[in-house]
Each structure stands twice: as structure tokens, then as C-alpha cells.
Amino acid sequence: MPICENKLTFRPDGTFRILFLSDFQETYEEFDPRTLSGVNAVLDAEKPDLVVLCGDNCNGPAIHSADDLGKYLGRMLEPLVSRAVPFAHVNGNHDYDADVPMDEQLRIWQSFPGCLTAAQPGVPGWTNFCLPILASASDAPVCAVWGLDTGHAIEELRPGLRDEALLKGLPLPASIWDIVRFEQQMWYWMKSAELEKEAGRKLPGVMAMHVSPWEFDYMRRYPDELGVSGNTDEQYGLGALNSGIFATLVQRGDVKCVCTGHTHINTCDAEYCGIRMCSVGSAGYSAYGEDSLRGGRIIDLSEREPEKMTARMAYFREYV
């Protein structure tokens, strides 16, 4: 269980703010100071009640031991820990590249004050969680923040395909990225139904994952029809298969916003089938991308109207 037992609660004025950050891909030795400068500036200006990290939180190949990861996270998480801001994270493909077992990675994350990330026994992935947000004047849940682990590379295409292609420098015949597995979707559905039964209604939710559902690509294909705002210059690195997670969310009907990373240049958002699709972009200046687009995404929630979530980008250039 997470070391931090803090409850997430709406402010007395009935507001709750989440900052989503993704794709730091920094290293301990060569941590670009502009990354932390931008994070510090946004935290001071926006004062989020929760920070959610959307994967590729480190440059995995540069992490060779648990000590390496601990030192790196100490630097990356310092802006949050020093301000006592609760946080949670989902894994990205580069987090799986680190030479540290995933269960050990989770224990290291949970050793930092404020970490709310959890794993679910018997469910694929190490960062599947549900965080209720309670009412300002009671312990009644109003909203929920979800995280789903999109894994590493899918081996069902053919065992060893990814490593073989990378070793030989060959183009891959299809996407290699993993998917949200059926067991994860079933866990989400059952947990959501449990929350509905306890609360007497469905709890509007916002969900984080690293690799985007296939439907996010509609923002590039149909920008005018969807009324897309933000940058759509990068092709989405989608999973090898359409897992059906977006259809699951639509049918369940509680998640109103999905925030994803993985594509560093896309900072777009649009509504489709009643769900706000939000690309977070990249926060790390050491990662590929455009420096003018570095930043995170703000989601504001209202206790009075929890279904009506607002989304906007927080570009570091606007704060530093």
C-alpha cells in the first residue's frame, strides 16, 4: 500500500485541480535544469491538489539498479515532495526499460511521501489505481482519478520481434506497443460498479494512461469535425492492437476525461462520445520534442458539477 495515506478532498470552495505531466525521460547525471524549473514554476502558479505522471517518467536504459532509480526519483520528485503535493504515476514503455524489477520499482516510488500509486493483485501491470476525491465537507466520494498501466511491448506479434528489429536496425512491420489488457478493463468495470453501488450514483472520473487509445488518432484525422484544439503534428504511437478500452469507457459511462502521454509533440484535446481526449505532451527537455510545447495539462473539477471538467495546457514557457 502507498506510504502516504492522505485523502484527496475538494477544497472548501468546491474546486479540485489536477496537473498531468508526462515523458520526463531525464537521467540523474544529466537532468536538464529547465525541466525542474518549469515544473516548479507551474506548481507555484497553479497549486494543484494532485499531480499525475503519465509515463516514461525516466530514461529507462540509464537506470541500472534500484539505487539509480531512487536517486533519480529523489531529484525528479523533489518539487512535489517539498510542497507536500500528493502524486500518482502510470508506467510508460521507457519505465519498463529500466534494469529494475517492476515490483521493486513500485516499492521505490511508494517510499516517497505523497505517493498514491498502487497495483492490483492479479491484474496485469503495476500502476493500476483508483483514487476517490471526497466532498469538501464529508467523506462522501464525488469523483475518481484512475490510472491504467499500458505496459511495455507486445510479444504476441512474435516472441523476440522487438529485440530482433532493434538489434538489426530494421523497421517494425507494425506497432510494438502493448495494450490495456482485458483483465485491467474488467478490474476497472468492477471497481467502477462497486463505487456506484456505494455512492448511489456513478462517479465522474478522469483517467491517465501512457499509450493513447486508438480513438485519439481521430484528432489528427478529423480535426475540424471534432473541434480539436492544440498541436497534432505527431503521429500517434498506438498499441499493436485496439484493446477496446475507449469503448469500455464509453459503455460504462463514468470516465469523462482521458489524459495520455507517449507522443511528445501532440498537445491536442477534443471531445468524442462524451469523453474528453487530452494529449499531455512532454515535460522533459532531454526528450525529443519542441521546447515551446514542453509542459503539462491542467484538469479542473467542480464539486457542484463534477461531470463538467475543464482541460487546458500549461506550457512551461508561460510560467518561467
**Dist CA 68 CA 66 (whole Å):** 5
297/268 Cα distance (integer angstroms): 10
- What residue ranges define each of the domains in the chain, with the CATH number in brackets? 8-318 (3.60.21.10)
Q: For each of the chain's 320 residues, which pLDDT tens digit applies?
A: 333 346 999 999 999 999 999 999 999 999 999 999 999 999 999 999 999 999 999 999 999 999 999 999 999 999 999 999 999 999 999 999 999 999 999 999 999 999 999 999 999 999 999 999 999 999 999 999 999 999 998 866 555 666 666 666 655 555 789 999 999 999 999 999 999 999 999 999 999 999 999 999 999 999 999 999 999 999 999 998 999 999 999 999 999 999 999 999 999 999 999 999 999 999 999 999 999 999 999 999 999 999 999 999 999 999 99
19, 315 in Cβ contact below 8 A? no
Report d(CA 149, CA 106) in Å as an integer.
12
Long-range pairs for 7-10 at CB < 8 Å and ≥24 separation? 7/134, 7/139, 8/49, 8/50, 8/86, 8/116, 8/131, 8/132, 8/133, 8/134, 8/145, 9/133, 9/134, 9/135, 9/136, 10/133, 10/134, 10/135, 10/136, 10/142, 10/301, 10/303
